[in-house]
C-alpha cells in the first residue's frame, strides 16, 4: 500500500491536487474534512476527545487500508509542533507495520495567492476555512510552512503550477502506477 500525504496550509490546493492525483492513479482519496467533519459533529473541535477520536478514526482506516493493500491519498495541515510530529510519526509507524509506505508531499504557494485561494466559494461545501482573517490568525499562531522532518519527501510550489501538472510531478517523483 502506498499512502500519499499531501500537506500544507489551508487553501494551498491539497484537495484539488488530491482529486487529480486520485484520477491519475486510482488511489482512494481520504481528504482531511471527511474525518474532521465527522468527529466535529459529535465533539467540540479542539477538545481532548475530539483530537483522540480524530486520530483514532484516521489510524483505523489507514492501517486497514495498508493491510488490504488499498492505496490512499490523504490531505492535512502540518504545524511543526512536537506533539504533531509525534502523532504523525506514530501513525506512520502503525501504517508501515501493516505494510504501508508513507510518501510525503508538501504543497506551498505565495502568501497572497494563498489568501486568494482560501476565500474560494468551493471550500464552503466541505466546511473548510474560508476567511482570510481566519487564515491570518491561524498563521500568526502556528508556522504552517514547516516541512515534516522525515521520510521520502517532495516539496512543490503550486503558486502557478496547475493541479494536473502538480499531480503528474507526484506520480513521476514517487513512480506511482497510473490508473
| pLDDT tens, residue by residue, 110-161 | 988 888 877 677 755 656 556 667 667 777 788 888 899 987 799 999 999 9
Q: Which three cell numbers stand for residue 74?
A: 490523504
Mean of pLDDT values over 32-48: 92
Establish if 31 belongs to a structural domain. Answer: yes
Residue 139: the pLDDT is: 74
- The residue written with cell numbers 483530537 in the block is 51
Candidates 161, 4, 141; CA nearest to 76 is 4
What is the total count of domains within the chain?
Answer: 1
Residue 179 lies in a domain: no
Note the pLDDT of residue 126.
Answer: 59
Question: Which residue in the block uniquely carries the three cell numbers 510550489?
Answer: 157
Average pLDDT over residues 71-93: 94
The whole-angstrom separation of Cα 138 and Cα 127 is: 16
Pairing of strands 101-108, 72-76: unpaired
In a domain, 159, yes or no: yes
Domain hosting 31: range is: 2-174
Q: Of 129 and 82, which is predicted with more confidence?
A: 82
**Domain contains 166:** yes
* Residue 1 predicted with pLDDT over 80: yes
- 106 exposure class (CB count in 10 Å sphere: 0-12, 13-18, 19+): buried
Q: How far is Cα 168 from Cα 24, in angstroms, rounded to an integer?
A: 8
Whether 104 is covered by a domain: the verdict is yes
Report pLDDT for 65. 98
Give start and end residues of each alpha helix (H) in 8-162: 14-25, 32-40, 48-68, 82-97, 111-118, 132-141
Of 38, 33, 36, 39, the residue nearest 18 (C-alpha): 33
Residue with more model confidence, 63 or 122:
63
Count of residues in the chain: 179
Residue 112 domain flag: yes
Average pLDDT, the chain: 90
In this structure, is residue 141 part of a structural domain? yes
Instruction: Check residue 92 and give its pLDDT.
Output: 96
In a domain, 50, yes or no: yes
Q: State the CATH number of the domain containing residue 89.
A: 3.40.50.300
Question: What pLDDT is attached to residue 157?
Answer: 97
Amino acid at each position: 500500500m502506498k499512502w500519499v500525504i499531501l500537506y500544507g496550509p489551508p487553501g494551498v490546493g491539497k484537495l484539488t491536487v488530491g482529486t487529480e492525483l486520485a484520477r491519475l492513479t486510482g488511489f482512494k482519496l481520504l481528504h482531511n474534512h471527511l474525518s474532521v467533519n465527522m468527529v466535529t459533529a459529535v465533539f467540540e473541535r479542539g477538545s481532548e476527545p475530539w483530537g483522540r477520536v480524530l486520530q483514532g478514526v484516521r489510524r483505523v482506516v489507514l492501517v486497514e487500508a495498508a493491510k488490504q493493500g488499498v492505496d490512499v491519498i490523504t490531505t492535512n495541515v502540518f504545524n511543526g509542533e512536537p506533539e504533531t510530529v509525534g502523532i504523525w510519526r506514530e501513525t506512520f509507524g502503525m501504517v508501515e507495520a501493516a505494510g504501508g509506505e508513507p510518501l510525503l508531499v508538501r504543497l506551498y504557494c505565495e502568501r497572497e495567492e494563498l489568501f486568494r485561494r482560501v476565500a474560494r466559494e468551493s471550500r464552503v461545501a466541505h466546511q473548510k476555512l474560508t476567511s482570510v482573517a481566519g487564515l491570518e490568525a491561524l498563521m500568526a499562531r502556528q508556522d504552517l510552512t514547516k516541512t515534516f522532518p522525515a521520510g521520502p519527501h517532495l516539496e512543490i510550489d503550486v503558486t502557478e503550477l496547475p493541479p494536473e501538472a502538480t499531480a503528474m510531478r507526484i506520480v513521476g517523483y514517487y513512480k506511482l502506477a497510473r490508473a
